[in-house]
Amino acid sequence: MALSDVKCRNARPASKLVKLTDGGGLQLWVQPTGSRLWRLAYRFGGKQKLLALGSYPLISLAEAREARDSAKRLLLRGIDPAQERKLQKASAEDTFRSIAEDYVDKLKKEGRADRTITKVKWLLDFAYPTFGDKSVREIDPATILVALRSVEVRGRYESARRLRSTIGSVFRYAIATARADVDPTVSLRGALVGPTVTPRAAVTDPKALGGLLRAINAFDGQPTTRAALKLMALLFPRPGELRAAGWDEFDFESSVWTIPEGRMKMRRPHRVPLATQAVSALTSLREISGGGLLLFPSVRSGSRPISDNTLNAALRRMGYGKEEATAHGFRATASTLLNECGKWHPDAIERQLAHVENNDVRRAYARAEHWEERVKMMQWWADYLDELESKNARVKITGG
C-alpha cells in the first residue's frame, strides 16, 4: 500500500528499524532514534543498491517520489543514480569559486599578509559573475577574457593584468590538486592592453629635498603624522611597514628596528639601523603615542594604525601635488641620492631598501646583509638630511 502524508507524519519508532514502502523501491526508514529517512532500493548491473534521498519531513513525500522518478529515468538510460550523484557533487566541488576559496585558504595558512589576501579576494570578485560557478574544466580562454575585458573597459589596465595572473594562480592550484588539466590564462598573454607604468613621484633634487624637509618640520597637523614623515625620510621603508609599526619592534639599546616578515613584501624579516636622529625622533614620538602598542595609532581606534592615505594627504596639505611627492617616493629619493654620492656599495643600498636580487649569485652575496656598511650609511644619510634641512646647507651631494 502506498504511503500518505498522514502515515509518514504518524510513523513511530520501534526497538528495531521499521521500513515503510511506497512503491517503485521508495521506502521510508524509521530509525529507533526517531529519525525518518528516505531510501530508494534499485538494481544496477545485476547488483542490489540503495540511494539516500534525504530525511522526512525536510523532504516531503511528493519530493521523495519526484526524486525516485528521476532516478528511474536515469536507470532507463543505463545510468547508475548513485554514480551520477557523485559526479554532480564532484562537479560542484570543482567550480572555479570553490577552488579559488581553497586557494585563498592556502595563502592564509602560508602566512600571507592580510593586505595580500584582501587584494586577491577583491580581484577574484571580478571573475565570479562570469564563471565563478562553472567547473574549471569547462572554462576556456574566451570565457576568462570576458571577465578581463569587463575590468579593462573601465580603463583599469593594471587590475585586468593582475586579475589574469590571479586567475592563472587558481588554475595552477587546481592542476596541482588534480581538479584541472590546463591553465587557460596562458593563451591570454598579450591579449590585454599594457598598463602605462607611472613611477611614484619623488623629490630627488637635493635643494628641493631640503625644502621638503623644512616643510615637514613646520607641518601643523597631527604630531604623529609629522613624526611619521620624518621617519619616512630618515629610514625610507615602505609606507605600510612604518604605518603599522609596533613599539616592540624597536631595540633602542642596539639602535635597530626589526620589521617582522608578516609586514614585509618579500615575506622575510628586515633590520633597519637607527641613526641617532631616528632614535631622537622615536623617543619624542614615544612621549605622544608610547602608551599603546602602535607608533601611529588611528585617532578613531588605538588598536588600528593610521590609514594608507594619511601621509600622502599630509604632503598635499603642505602644498606638494601627487606628481611632486608621495610617501612611497622617499624610497626613490634615498635610492637615487645614495647611489649618486658614490660612497656606498649598490648592494648595501639595495639591502637597505629590502629589495630581493633576481640573480642567484647576487642574492647569495646579499645574505651577508652588508650590515656594518648599512649602519654607517644610515647615519651618513641622517646627517646629510640635517645639512639639507638647514637653510644655508651645501646642496652638492658628491664630494667629501
pLDDT in tens, 259-280: 988 777 666 788 999 999 999 9
- Could you say which of 86, 268, 304, 365 is catalytic? 365
- The answer to whether 172 is a known catalytic residue is no
Q: Is residue 234 part of a domain?
A: yes
Mean per-residue pLDDT for 139-152? 91
- CATH, residue 170: 1.10.150.130
**Which residue from 225, 400, 254 is spatially nearest to 327, judged by alpha carbons?**
225
Domain tally, the chain: 3
117 and 173 both lie in a single domain: yes
370 and 223 both lie in a single domain: yes
226 and 365 both lie in a single domain: yes
Residue ending a domain, choose from 155, 188, 221: 188
- Could you say which of 230, 238, 243, 343 is catalytic? 238
Q: Is residue 336 part of a domain?
A: yes
Q: b/e per residue, 350-387, with b = 16+ CB within 10 A?
A: bbbbbeeeeeeeeeeebeeebeebbbebbbebbebbee
Q: Is residue 195 part of a domain?
A: no
Q: Is residue 183 part of a domain?
A: yes
Q: Is residue 87 part of a domain?
A: no
166 and 259 both lie in a single domain: no
Q: Is residue 100 part of a domain?
A: yes
- The answer to whether 42 is a known catalytic residue is no
Residue 315 — pLDDT band, cuts 50, 70, 90? very high
Q: Does the pTM exceed 0.75?
A: no
361 and 219 both lie in a single domain: yes
Q: Which amino acid, residue 357?
A: E
- The answer to whether 265 is a known catalytic residue is yes
**CA–CA separation, 283 vs 290, rounded Å?**
9
Output the average pLDDT for the chain: 86
DSSP 199: P
∠ CA(191), CA(197), CA(201), 5° rounding? 165
- Could you say which of 39, 72, 149, 265 is catalytic? 265
Q: What is the extent of the structural domain holding 61? A: 5-81
107 and 60 both lie in a single domain: no
pLDDT at position 198: 55
257 and 331 both lie in a single domain: yes
Residue ending a domain, choose from 81, 107, 141: 81
365 and 296 both lie in a single domain: yes
Q: Is residue 198 part of a domain?
A: no
Which bin fits 25, alpha (ψ -120 to 50), beta or left (φ > 0)?
A: left
